[in-house]
A and B are shown apart, each in its own frame.
Chain A
Amino acid sequence: MTAPPARPRSLHTRTILVLAMRNLSRQARRTMLTAAVMVLGGALLIFSFAIGDGSHENWIDSGIRTSSGHVTVEQPQFRVSRKLEDRLTSAQRGEAERALAMPDIAPLVVAVSSRLRIGGLASSAAGARPAQILAVDPVAEARFSTLDDQVVEGRYLEPDDRLAAFIGVGLASSLELRIGSRLVVQAQDTENEIAAQLLRVVGIFRNGVPEVDQTVVHIPLQVAGEWLGSDEDVTNVGVVLQGSEAVGPVTRHLETTLAEPITRGEVRVMGWREANPALAAAIAIDDFGNYLVFGILFLIIAFGIVNAVLMSVLHRHREFGVLQALGLTPGQTGAIVLVEGLTLTAVSGFVGVSLGLVATWYFLGDGLDMSALVGEDMTFSGVVIDPVIVPLFRAVRIAQVVTFIVAIGAVASIYPALRAARIDIAEAMKFER
């Protein structure tokens, strides 16, 4: 016999690929069915991740705008003491504001509002109620807060307002206040004396979070400075960012720029997770729930693939027997099945992820209106849930989903591939009469 020429390995590889592709197309219906499951799964995953992330971003935005921002700069004791004495001096405030205006991070910053938050008492002829008094720069705060968009009567504070107050519907009804009504606020001043200030209601808002509507009172910072003797000092510099993903870089930037006062223990920089632990926990719990659902979805997809690939293998014993009788090794035979499974997952995964992205992109503009499910005024831990969810597009999610789909494909194909490799050739080739 003439010795056959040396066989390049690529030849077998190509043969394996051709056989795998032919098998997929021969079993078109099964292939399509499996692919459909994966496509649906992939699309669903991408889309629901985007919706989940989008609604969380929404919660964060809503939560931080009624509190201290994505990032807050404050005196370290203030969060616990809530006392006026634990405030930032106007010099420290200026330093923080300048740091935020630096060109390398300015593009990440949407709004900066330096404010003085004081606990006090609001009273009218009708009675007295505890109040969260927030003394603000009206222009800066209007960009920071959502309250100025939630006016139900009157208007938000304006730059040359004197002795003006912007209050919630709850407080307005308990104290029987209307636009133009007089209101007295009392709090401890910088000398630890109780000081009172007369204000006039210029606007009433309705936020939806009962606690906010009952207690929050916005007044001009200048008025507070004179009333309490705190001048230009503030209790925190709140920062709203482009998105929660900017919290890391901005926090690091501030910590470097304000390193000196921080080491002296005069200033502290905090992200929203630290400042709003309840909100962070709520998101973590919701995320866990989502992951659980995704996990189950993954299992269903994996089961579908294992089933499809395995069924096809069980019906093809004879074929694998032939291949091995003709000179393919068990490994090469298994490789055919593996290539089939991986191709199926790769292609349908790609289509699925693309579909998911298209769906995400479609709802990117107007969002997905869930008001039928959520109801109008859902709130928790200081967050108003917006029933219109705008999906959030995050590259890391695509990577996660793709990785997972490929992993499923690999795992789901390994067992069938082993079955194909380990068949009993003589048994597989048996002649059935």
Chain B
Amino acid sequence: MTESNIPAVRTEGVWKIFQQEAEEVQAVRDVSVTIERGEFTALAGPSGSGKTTLLNLIGGLTPPTRGRVWVAGQEVSEMSNQALAQLRLEQVGFIFQAYNLLPVLTAMENAEFPMLLQGLAAEERATRVRELFARTGMAGLEDRRPGKLSGGQQQRVAVVRAVASRPALVLADEPTANLDSASSEALLDVMAELNRDLGVTFVFATHDARVMGRARRLVQMVDGRIDSDETRA
């Protein structure tokens, strides 16, 4: 198998069961899915169907109850904390449902944080962030702290943070949930372009028809299982 054949993400019979007092919640049930490099995939499904949990399993933020998960050919479910940190730092960009910016850093500092950890030079970081900020209507807000940004603005910072470091894989949980259609389209343009030009793999959990419309593959989840999986031409 050559490197280009290794899928970006692969899960095999993966389960996530939460113990809620006496009853157990099967958030993800026996999911086996392969996402090739360069895919632009939407994960849809009703609230509580397990989309966030599946993304967390893929990103190694939560260990599976059963089953196995690989990212770029490395088995996430077997990794040490250090290796996981390394993998996230170098390969994975997260966009969380609750934007989760660092409150003590400015918009600019938040957006460049992963690149800072990667050791990119200051000019390079600034150039990338400024360009993405300009394209997403965030120009001029670079020095604001998250507390002084609207929900939509914070979300855009979170998206820029996830993509500016150009990871191989971006796991995006409702990246457009709080945005007007113009901002959503701008973000989707940025992501589609990264996908096309750099081959960045995107996996979105979403309720947003705009996102689903742009996706080339649509995976539907119901009650923790994959209900349908269709790829459009």
Q: Chain A interface (Cβ within 8 Å of chain B)?
A: 1-2, 4-8, 11-12, 15, 19, 22-23, 26, 318-319, 321-332, 424-426, 429-432
Instruction: Tell me whether A4 and B119 are in contact (CB under 8 A).
Output: yes
- Other than the given A22-B104, A330-B85, A426-B56, 10 more pairs (CB < 8 A) read A7-B117, A11-B116, A15-B117, A318-B100, A322-B102, A326-B88, A326-B114, A329-B82, A329-B85, A424-B62
Does residue B10 face the partner (Cβ distance < 8 Å to A)? no
Instruction: Tell me whether B117 and A326 are in contact (CB under 8 A).
Output: yes
Instruction: Tell me whether A330 and B96 are in contact (CB under 8 A).
Output: no
Q: Chain B interface (Cβ within 8 Å of chain A)?
A: 52-53, 56, 59, 61-62, 81-82, 85-86, 88-91, 94, 96-98, 100-105, 113-114, 116-120, 161, 166-168, 173-174, 198-199
Instruction: Tell me whether B98 and A22 are in contact (CB under 8 A).
Output: no
A217 to chain B, nearest CB (A): 78
A419 to chain B, nearest CB (A): 15
30 A-B pairs (CB sep. < 8 Å): A1-B168, A1-B198, A5-B120, A7-B117, A7-B118, A11-B119, A15-B117, A19-B102, A19-B104, A22-B104, A26-B103, A319-B102, A323-B102, A324-B88, A325-B88, A325-B94, A325-B100, A326-B89, A326-B94, A326-B161, A327-B86, A327-B117, A328-B85, A328-B117, A329-B81, A330-B81, A426-B62, A429-B96, A431-B52, A431-B96
A400 to chain B, nearest CB (A): 35
Q: Which residue of B lies closest to A327 (CB)?
A: B89
Known A327-B88, A327-B90, A431-B97; contact A8-B119, beta-carbon cutoff 8 A: yes
A322 to B62, CA, bound (A): 14
Task: Give the total number of A-B pairs whose CB atoms are below 8 A apart.
Answer: 95
Instruction: Tell me whether A429 and B98 are in contact (CB under 8 A).
Output: yes
Chain A residues with Cβ below 8 Å from B166 are 1-2
Instruction: Tell me whether B98 and A322 are in contact (CB under 8 A).
Output: no
Going nearest first, the 5 A-B pairs with the smallest beta carbon separation are A327-B89, A431-B97, A22-B104, A426-B62, A7-B119
Chain B residues with Cβ below 8 Å from A322 are 96, 100-102
A432 to B52, CA, bound (A): 13
B149 to chain A, nearest CB (A): 15
Instruction: Tell me whether A5 and B104 are in contact (CB under 8 A).
Output: no
Instruction: Tell me whether B116 and A15 are in contact (CB under 8 A).
Output: yes
Chain A residues with Cβ below 8 Å from B168 are 1
B173 to chain A, nearest CB (A): 8
Partner of A4, one of B88, B101, B118: B118
Chain B residues with Cβ below 8 Å from A4 are 90, 118-120
A426 to B59, CA, bound (A): 10
A34 to chain B, nearest CB (A): 17
A424 to B60, CA, bound (A): 11
A356 to chain B, nearest CB (A): 32
Q: Which residue of B lies closest to A5 (CB)?
A: B119
B99 to chain A, nearest CB (A): 9
A6 to B198, CA, bound (A): 21
Q: Which residue of B lies closest to A333 (CB)?
A: B85
Q: Which residue of B lies closest to A25 (CB)?
A: B104
A322 to chain B, nearest CB (A): 5
Instruction: Tell me whether B102 and A429 are in contact (CB under 8 A).
Output: no
Instruction: Tell me whether B114 and A22 are in contact (CB under 8 A).
Output: no
Chain B residues with Cβ below 8 Å from A7 are 117-119
Instruction: Tell me whether A26 and B104 are in contact (CB under 8 A).
Output: yes
Q: Which residue of B lies closest to A24 (CB)?
A: B104
Chain A residues with Cβ below 8 Å from B103 are 26, 319
Q: Which residue of B lies closest to A23 (CB)?
A: B104
A413 to B86, CA, bound (A): 26
B181 to chain A, nearest CB (A): 22
Instruction: Tell me whether B98 and A327 are in contact (CB under 8 A).
Output: no
A319 to B101, CA, bound (A): 8
Chain A residues with Cβ below 8 Å from B86 are 327
Instruction: Tell me whether B120 and A432 are in contact (CB under 8 A).
Output: no
A325 to B60, CA, bound (A): 9
Q: Which residue of B lies closest to A427 (CB)?
A: B62
